[in-house]
Amino acid sequence: MSCNKGHDKLDALAFVSTRGWRTSALHGPSNGQLARFGGRDRLQRGRPTRFPRVPPPPTAPLLYRTVATATREYAPVPPPRYRVSPLDFRIHSSRTVGVGSFGTVYEAEKVVEPESSLPCVAKTVPADRFSGVNLNDALYYFAIERYANDQVRVCIESGEVAQLRRYTARYLGHGEHAGREWLFFQRHPGWTLEEHFRQAAAAADGDGEDFIGRLARALGLVVPPEDADRIKLTRRVFLRVAYDLLQALVGFSRLGLVHRDMKPANVLIDEAAHAVRVLDLGSAAFLSTPRYGAVIGYNARWGPADEDYVPPERFIDAKFPHQFDVFSVAMSLLRIIIPGIRDVGHFRRFSHDFRSTYDTDLGFYASRAFAGQAQHVPEGFVDGLVVLKGEDGLLFELMRLMLLWRPHSRLSPERALVELEKIKSRVPA
């Protein structure tokens, strides 16, 4: 299978809200809707970005898990491409890896050849957790995640976006048994970035040195003695995580995919491959889909989004869609270098203040903090600025541009990666 080079236009009626509004995927919501839902920008009009065509699945294009109710309208989702049998896996229902808003992940292992005994994880929608509209939502986002992983895998195998092999979890396939659907992935050893933050916040010393050292070792970086310059080590860790995440976003943008839920809980530090892997594509939006024409997986007014990481526009800007994830990645990266916001409660307070008072302007926030005029300055904020400023201030400027309020001013994943590579080339490995 290969990814063809054709293109499709966006469906002009792709977005359907819970209140029955229909807005154009080419031009986005109206200014009145923007004001109502917190957006500040007049969305840019123009031709949509074009993306590589992903070939349709070999099966007939039947609707899969499509549901319509009085309060929801779910876009059609193509059928599965990669199928496996759940009977080929031993699922440990008593060993929960994670519980999300729309699904539960369990430990599992493969019990048949090839790759017998392969450590895996199995994700499903437990019916006992949901009912009514919530169950329909969960099944819909489960179908979105399955479709997204199908597209990522087929384009990895074709070589179209080969870098995603390193920056996403290996997807094995979809299976259904006894009325329950499952998604199976290879289990990569390590903690999520949120788990690393949680351990750092709970550390008795509270100085964050163990956090940086542990994260550096998980990434395969050489950790100097304790009395060495920790600022340099923190900067190297920051650059490595930022580089891997931006590589993933560039791969997603080539697929026409916006993750929409980039946050530390969805970032795994793979200790075996020393890689950063992006997890959980259930909130993803595909901006151009062959045969189906419409945006798949996107309804901003009831779609899942973490308020602490979602960018100010809240909607995907039709002309600058991938800047959405850039903002979320930058907010996640701030927690690496500022010890005082590694705790999720402190970060939530910082995120609210950063948006409501400073319009996510990092330069303005930093100037007020240095002048002693900022409220709720997190512990270690000055240390974080030292890491970003370095000798030339380029890393600080990169972060500032990734956090700009307006999506048309914010850096794209490709541009952010180019600038980061220039900075990274000046830092010893």
The annotation places the binding site for ATP at: 123
CA distances from 320 to 9, 232, 245, 274 (A): 15, 34, 18, 32
Per-position b or e across 73-111, b if 16+ CB within 10 A of its CB: ebbbbbbbbbebebebbebeeeeeebebebbbbbbbbbe
CA distances from 167 to 138, 170, 279, 297, 386 (A): 25, 9, 9, 21, 29
CB of 47 closer than 8 Å to CB of 326 = no
Say how far apart CA 153 and CA 146 lie, in whole Å.
11
Say how far apart CA 225 and CA 232 lie, in whole Å.
12
Say how far apart CA 236 and CA 351 lie, in whole Å.
24
CB of 125 closer than 8 Å to CB of 142 = yes
CB of 305 closer than 8 Å to CB of 282 = no
User: Which residue stretches of 46-163 are H helix?
Assistant: 132-158
Residue spans of beta strands (DSSP E) within 240-375: 257-258, 267-270, 275-278, 285-286
Binding site members: 123
CB of 53 closer than 8 Å to CB of 3 = yes
- Residue 401 region by backbone torsions, left for phi larger than 0, else alpha for psi between -120 and 50, else beta: alpha
The three-state secondary structure class of 290 is coil
Any idea what the Cα angle at residue 396 is, between residues 280 and 344, rounded to 5°? 40
